[in-house]
Amino acid sequence: MNRRQLLAGCGALGLAACAGPQAGPRPSQRTLARRPLGLANLTVADALKADYDGTLRRARALGYTHFGFPLGPQSPRHETPRDPVEVAASCERAGLAVGTVRLAYSADYARQMQMAARIGAGIVAQSAADVFFTGPLPGRTTRAEFERWMERLALMAGAARDQGLRMVYHNHDWDHVPLDGLTPLELIAQRFAPGEVDFEIDLGWAAVAGVDPLALVESLGPRVLALHLKDVDRRCAPPGCPRFVAPGEGDLDYPALMPRLDRTTGAIGYVEVDEPADGMLAAARGAETIRRARQAG
């Protein structure tokens, strides 16, 4: 039986069946206290526009160790971000490591992977499958369309492998909606072996979809290479007020959740708050919530 045949039944068995080998020994309490913490550029996007180096220095002072950012525009509507080489240099000056980088909205995968390797990234993320935005209903697609899109994901994964990088797929709420029986995440886990395409799990988007974030991370096991840490305020929804808030400001129980996540996965978590009113304040509150949770856990 070859690997593809072996993986064919993973969807029916659940994501855990596709998780691959179990992770190594669980980290000690002393190790947990020193766990790295990442910051996603989206959280402090406005501050970065005003003072890139200064913002990264403030992030380091808050306790962040890694900075995650895009390699190019994330969609045709988004402006071109700062040159990745310049961002990497800013990270070095601030004492931050280059974290998970995100692919741009373009098909030059080989060039982007070469850039990611050049600036010292280890993990490259595909933020979303664009087939969810090409149909008449945003966030909807068919299984056939998604399976065709996974052929492009295979090209990304191959280009990442050629540069010694790990490829991950980032979830949104629509990735938890079944397409003829299997969710997009399950289809990816079935189609690709561990190490080919793995996952960056966004806790907030999982929660919005009605999925238990911890159970999701546990089911994927060592295939979870990165996390996005945001909270959900279910009392309101856009455009009236922001649905996503800093960890500790919403309905997710981060004081209980964070220690359990740390014991489940070695993935670095990145605080990501979409369109905060004050990005530096959100970054500070997120870092403090996670620090306190780790100390108490």
Phi-psi region of 275 (alpha: psi -120 to 50; beta: other; left: phi over 0): left
Structure tokens that stand for 142 in this block: 């068919």
Residue 81: the pLDDT is 84
Q: How many CB atoms lie within 10 A of CB 36?
A: 14
Q: Which residues, 6 or more positions from 130, have their beta carbon under 8 angstroms from its beta carbon?
A: 75, 105, 149
Q: How many CB atoms lie within 10 A of CB 292?
A: 14
Q: Which comes out higher in pLDDT, residue 235 or 190?
A: 190
Find which of 26-35, 79-88, 218-227 is predicted with most confidence, using mean pLDDT.
Answer: 218-227
C-alpha 216, offset from chain centre: 13
Rounded (10°) CA dihedral 178, 171, 110, 149:
20
- Strand-pairing partners, residue 231, are 245
Residue 253 identity: D
Residue 76: the pLDDT is 55
Rg (CA), the chain: 18
Q: Which residues, 6 or more positions from 74, have their beta carbon under 8 angstroms from its beta carbon?
A: 102, 104, 105, 127
CA distance to 94, 115, 207, per residue, from 58 (Å): 8, 26, 30
As a whole number of angstroms, the distance between CA 81 and CA 161 comes to 25
User: What is the value of pTM for the model shown?
Assistant: 0.89
Given a cut of 90, is residue 180 above it in pLDDT?
yes
Asked if 258 and 296 touch (Cβ cutoff 8 Å), the reply is no
Q: Domain extents for the chain?
A: 39-296
Q: % helix / strand / coil in the chain, to the nearest 5?
A: 45, 15, 40
Q: Which residues, 6 or more positions from 59, have their beta carbon under 8 angstroms from its beta carbon?
A: 39, 44, 67, 94, 96, 283
In 3D, which of 183, 198, 213, 292 has the Cα closest to residue 248? 292
As a whole number of angstroms, the distance between CA 32 and CA 100 comes to 20
Q: Mind listing the pLDDT tens digit for each residue in 36-58?
A: 999 999 999 999 999 999 999 99
Given a cut of 90, is residue 60 above it in pLDDT?
yes
Asked if 228 and 208 touch (Cβ cutoff 8 Å), the reply is no
Residue 139: the pLDDT is 82
In 3D, which of 237, 231, 226 has the Cα closest to residue 272? 231
CATH number of the domain at 39-296, please? 3.20.20.150
Q: How many CB atoms lie within 10 A of CB 21?
A: 8
Q: Mind listing the pLDDT tens digit for each residue in 203-253?
A: 999 999 999 999 999 999 999 999 999 999 988 866 777 789 999 999 999
As a whole number of angstroms, the distance between CA 67 and CA 59 comes to 9
